[in-house]
């Protein structure tokens, strides 16, 4: 969540962004923060108590 401003500024429209190492209980908050205005969520995945997101900048 702390890296959101850096990721927002450094990613180009249409670019995929992969976020991993997210705890399952944090996934909703992370998705909410990123998809509020600037990204759309393309895929979520969970394995062995860790989650991953693939987002695309709008």
For 4-57, the pLDDT digits (tens) are 999 999 999 999 999 999 999 999 999 999 999 999 999 999 999 999 999 999
What residues make up the domain containing 32?
A: 4-57
- As for how many domains the chain has, the answer is 1
Which tokens sit at 34?
Answer: 């990123």
Question: Please, are residues 44 and 19 in contact by the beta-carbon 8 Å criterion?
Answer: no
- Is the pTM higher than 0.85? The answer reads yes
CA nearest to 31, candidates 43, 41, 22: 41
Question: Please, are residues 49 and 24 in contact by the beta-carbon 8 Å criterion?
Answer: yes
Count of other CB atoms within 10 angstroms of residue 51: 19
pLDDT for res 6: 96
pLDDT for res 7: 96
pLDDT for res 50: 96
């Amino acid at each position: 969540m702390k890296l959101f401003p850096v990721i927002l500024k450094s990613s180009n429209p249409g670019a995929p962004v992969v976020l991993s190492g997210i705890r399952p209980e944090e996934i909703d908050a992370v998705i909410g923060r990123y998809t509020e205005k600037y990204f759309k969520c393309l895929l979520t995945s969970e394995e062995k108590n860790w989650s991953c997101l693939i987002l695309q900048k709008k």
